[in-house]
Structure 1
Amino acid sequence: MMVHQTNQLLHLQYDIPAYLLFVFFATLCSYNFHWYLTPDMPSETLRIGWTQRNKSLHLALFIIGFIGAGWFFIHFIRHWFWLMGSVVLTFLYSAPKLQFPPFHHLKKVAIGKTIFLAFVWMYVTTFLPIAIDDQHWGLPAALLCIHRFFLIYAICIIFDYRDRLYDRQQGIRSMITHFSEAGVNAIFLVSLLIFALSTAWFCYLLKTGWLYFAALLIPGILTALLYPYAKKNFSDYLFYFVLDGLMMLSALLMLLLPPR
């Protein structure tokens, strides 16, 4: 949905079905690789408990995703430079979980873990389609990347706030474990402010109209409203359905709007 929204807003033209399949298999690969490497740990959430009991399933899905992503990587091989960016970034996010040098040392220096994750999501769903299309570089494309990054970053801050105690126990450094709660709140608010400003500027340049502006802005408003509640309630349903779902909410809302 997020890739589709990028295509829709900028009118990108490339082999979209093949790219959507690439993103599907790459996500399957990277997600299961990450959780397969996650060590067993006491957990208060049903979600992580399920993960720990199903490592063999994670391994099988990782292999399936790896094969599928590799096939479509070859399909887009002439864009190998931009594609390798997504491969390297995705690998480096999970690399600190590898229990041998030099990768296990990364968790001690990965102060930008939250920024890194948000950037990977933005890169795959926004920047990479623009790069493959190669016809729509410019200020609107840059603003859309900023809009997407800071919404995802604000949502990732909530996830990292939930995981901050575990990250400290494991020696994983991030901005959220480093700053006080007041500092985390300030980073969250600044992120949403940049998200709102880039959204307004993007819609102004493309003359999208108020309906599109509202559709793009609503996920940020809901994220701000949910922030105090999510800092106290760590329900899997809230995090993996509601908060994760906010990343594609504007794309769903745009399906209800007339085409531009």
Structure 2
Amino acid sequence: MTDPVAARPSEVRGGSVRRGRPGVLLLGGTGEARELAAALVADGVDVVSSLAGRLADPRLPDGDVRVGGFGGVEGLAAWLREHRPGAVVDATHPFAAGMTANAARACTATGTRLLRLQRPGWTAGPGDDWRWADSLADAAGMVHGTVFLTTGRQGVGAFAGLPGRVLVRCVDPPTDPLPAGAVLLLARGPFTVDDELALMREHAVDVVVTKDSGGHMTAAKLVAARELGIPVVLVRRPPIPDGVLVVASVQEALACL
């Protein structure tokens, strides 16, 4: 996985980084990050939200916003030493393993308090036919027929060798090679169950592939797959570095902060 903190030179959007000491550096991009930023700003806390800059048109949170990479662990550590935030909250996507690892290392090196806000994963219910994979490559080896691929634009190349029809849904176009039978669907959630049912019926989907992202924004596809009796291949989450305090909700994060 590409290191998110080294994605591109940093810039400021939606605000300007304050010269004073920010209360919280919020590594964001998720719905939970935006919710937490809004709550902290409403409480009068100075927040700098850092976005990796991977989406062409990201949803900006309240407060000051920094877009782009820090320059790896050393760059993030240097930023922390310069700005001395009271805490760092890593509220990045559950699969942003590179950012989470770098945040842990940089905070340890600078003695900065670190909190990981990560929504719970999905839980299978009655009627669900879920099969678990340890990686995108493993998932690609488990599927055939018409595949509905909803793992985001990164890592699509792992499925480039699939011989059948592959519906690839993501927010921005992938840069990886697409399967020969790919149909690219550019869309941003949340999606309704009715929409997902119609899509899967229209394309005669045989299997859904997704990451165990959790949350409600994209869970409708799981409900639709259950109603249609379609199996779902889920990619397991990467592990969280040892010693990092993890909370599962914005309310828990606010209590810790």
TM-score (norm 1): 0.23
Looking at secondary structure, tell me which structure has more strand per residue: 2
TM-score (norm 2): 0.24
